[in-house]
């Protein structure tokens, strides 16, 4: 039986900060639950990695689309949103910008007490560790000891500098700090980076970029971080959340509040239908890939994956990355010898068809899977 005083669902920018702040009290226990993977990956910490994560949906990007927009002639807008520790702070452009002070003051005038710019500025400073003021907290606008690392651009694009110079020549004021006294003008942004690497909220509030920290909690024993864990249900007692059920691999867990305690209690049960209940194609795909990928890598030295359509005579050469959860009854997968001709490729689609060992995979669902090693 496990017990947690706080359950935080979603380890995005807000979730990481909330869980870390709660865990500062050693008398409480906190569980942070995230459906996506860990952020210990080159596509996250290397700034240019966003070129691989942002353009399309994937393991670290939900890749949402808006509803059709009348003003766009019915087109849908693409909205990349982060999936994994750090949320969108793991895939965004790393620009550190707070917004214009007038917006905050307008909120306060409309009745949002405590949201004026002077009210929120201390919290911005408290969270920030700007490299220009490291170890200091005497700057009016910036902090130097918070968890969120902020830096100047280390290697700005020459065209960015020329753009700024052109704007100044055109009469716009130079501005080297859009988070300072003035937001108007031309200049280069500050970025959430540290020593040239992305500094997302998972690094800032959880593990400080320590890849050796397998717990992802920064050594805090009262903070449990669960990745690749899908929450299936939140239970309510009236308007109050009282527990939740989540799924990771084939395990399902439920938390409930105890009858005489405010702690959220967890119990574990084995459920073979867990993956199906989660309705997560990526989970099935991961199982499938773990079976076929080693084989594909071995065959790749002498073979290429060839995709042929049963309705056409065209052969399309692909790489091992073609093995995904996208097979359909109209396609057959085969491995042909390197440089195999189109007729040889067609012939290779007729060997014995194997059933995939994963019942949720293409073979187990009735899709034909043809695998054959070509001659070296």
SS3 125: helix
pLDDT of 307 > 60? The answer is: no
Q: How far apart are CA 371 and CA 236, in angstroms?
A: 50
pLDDT tens across 175-230, in order? 999 999 999 999 999 999 999 999 999 999 999 999 999 999 999 999 999 999 99
Residues of the chain with pLDDT > 90, as a percent, come to: 61
> Strands 30-33 and 223-226, how do they pair?
parallel
Q: Residue 361 pLDDT more than 50?
A: no
User: What was the pLDDT predicted at 283?
Assistant: 35
* Residue spans per domain, the chain: 2-39+200-277, 95-191, 281-370
Q: Could you give the C-alpha distances from 177 to 118, 125, 230, 306, in angstroms and in order? A: 18, 14, 40, 54
pLDDT in tens, 52-64: 999 999 999 999 9
Q: How confident is the model at residue 299 (pLDDT cuts 50, 70, 90)?
A: very low
CATH architecture of the domain formed by 95-191? Orthogonal Bundle (1.10)
Give the tens place of pLDDT for each residue, 94-109: 999 999 999 999 999 9
Q: What is the pLDDT of residue 63?
A: 96
Q: Which residues contact 337 (CB under 8 A, 6 or more apart)?
A: 302, 303, 344, 374, 375, 376
Structure confidence at residue 246 (pLDDT): 85
pTM of the predicted structure, to 2 decimals: 0.67
Cα–Cα distance list, 172 to 16, 167, 184, 286 (Å):
39, 6, 8, 52
- Four-CA torsion 322, 324, 329, 334, nearest 10 degrees: 40
Per-residue pLDDT band at 244 (split at 50, 70, 90): confident
Give pLDDT, residue 316.
Answer: 33
Mean pLDDT of the region 142-166: 96
Instruction: Say yes or no: do domains 2-39+200-277 and 95-191 share a fold.
Output: no
**Per CATH, is 2-39+200-277 categorized as 3.50.50.60?**
yes
DSSP 332-359: EEEEEETT--HHHHHHTTSSPEEPPSST
Degrees, nearest 5: CA angle 345-347-348: 65
Q: Which residues sit opposite 235 in a β-bridge?
A: 243
Nearest in space to 190 (alpha carbons), one of 69, 50, 95, 89: 95
Contacts of residue 340, Cβ cutoff 8 Å, sequence gap at least 6: 304, 306, 348, 374
């Amino acid at each position: 039986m496990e017990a947690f005083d706080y359950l935080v669902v979603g380890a995005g920018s807000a979730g990481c900060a909330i869980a870390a702040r709660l865990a500062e009290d050693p008398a409480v226990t906190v569980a942070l639950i995230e459906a996506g993977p860990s952020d210990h990956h080159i596509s996250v910490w290397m700034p240019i990695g966003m070129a691989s994560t942002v353009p399309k949906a994937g393991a670290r990007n939900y890749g949402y689309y808006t509803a059709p927009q009348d003003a766009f002639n019915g087109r849908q807008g693409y909205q990349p949103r982060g999936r994994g520790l750090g949320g969108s702070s793991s895939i965004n452009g790393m620009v550190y910008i707070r917004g214009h002070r007038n917006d905050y003051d307008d909120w306060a005038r409309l009745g949002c007490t405590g949201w004026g710019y002077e009210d929120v500025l201390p919290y911005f400073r408290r969270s920030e560790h700007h490299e220009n003021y490291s170890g200091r907290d005497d700057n009016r606008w910036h902090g130097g000891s918070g968890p969120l690392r902020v830096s100047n651009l280390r290697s700005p694009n020459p065209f960015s500098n020329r753009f700024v110079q052109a704007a100044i020549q055109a009469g716009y004021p130079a501005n080297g700090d859009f988070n300072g006294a003035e937001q108007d003008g031309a200049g280069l942004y500050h970025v959430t980076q540290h020593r040239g690497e992305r500094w997302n909220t998972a690094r800032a509030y959880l593990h400080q970029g320590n890849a050796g920290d397998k717990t992802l909690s920064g050594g805090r024993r009262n903070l449990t971080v669960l990745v690749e864990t899908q929450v299936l249900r939140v239970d309510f007692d009236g308007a109050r959340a009282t527990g939740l059920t989540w799924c990771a691999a084939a395990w399902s867990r439920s938390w409930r509040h105890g009858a005489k305690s405010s702690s959220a209690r967890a119990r574990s049960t084995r459920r073979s239908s867990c993956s199906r209940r989660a309705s997560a194609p990526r989970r099935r795909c991961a199982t499938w890939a773990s079976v076929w990928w080693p084989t594909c890598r071995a065959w790749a030295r002498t073979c290429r994956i060839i995709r042929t359509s049963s309705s056409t005579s065209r052969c399309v050469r692909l790489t091992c990355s073609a093995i995904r959860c996208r097979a359909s009854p109209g396609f057959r997968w085969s491995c042909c010898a390197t440089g195999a001709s189109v007729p040889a490729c067609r012939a290779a689609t007729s060997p014995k068809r194997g059933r995939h060992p994963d019942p949720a995979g293409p073979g187990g669902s009735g899709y034909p899977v043809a695998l054959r090693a070509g001659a070296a």
